[in-house]
Amino acid sequence: MREHELKHFEDLLKERKVQIKKNIEDSMREIEDLKDSEVGDEADHASVSTDRMIEQAISAQQMKELNEIEFALNKIRNGSYGICEMCEEEIGFQRLKVKPHARYCIVCREIIEKSAKNK
């Protein structure tokens, strides 16, 4: 991978990292607001509870993506970014454009997904 391409992906990952951190902070604030809100009846309580669960699920997914981004940034630093962790071939540029924190090429990702479904 060329130096300017690597820099492009590093910038994308860093921008996404900032956005995710902001999303998580906003989510945590909303969860706190939901905890502090006065609930009038059981329907309100159910609605608040559902909203809280949704916010927590979104935050958990965002934390997972944040960890994957940190992992990808470390790979940029150690020179192994863009290499599939399974077959050790280069991950396609188009795949990285779609998912800059991809750890596997398309073929290996499909193998992993099929294996997970068969378990």
Which regions of the chain carry the CATH code 1.20.120.910? 1-81
Answer whether 0.75 is exceeded by the pTM: yes
pLDDT score recorded for residue 62: 92
Tokens of 74: 């470390």
> What DSSP string runs through 26-52?
HHHHHHHHHHHS---SHHHHHHHHHHH
Instruction: Examine the pLDDT at 117 and tell me if it is beyond 90.
Output: no
Tokens of 81: 């970014």
Residue range 30-49: average pLDDT?
66
1-81 to CATH, choices 3.90.420.10, 3.40.50.1370, 1.20.120.910, 1.10.3720.10: 1.20.120.910
User: Helices 42-78 and 3-36 meet at what angle, rounded to 10?
Assistant: 160
Instruction: Examine the pLDDT at 48 and tell me if it is beyond 70.
Output: no
Tokens of 6: 């690597």
Q: Which of 18-27, 45-54, 66-75, 86-95 has the lowest mean pLDDT?
A: 45-54
pLDDT score recorded for residue 52: 76
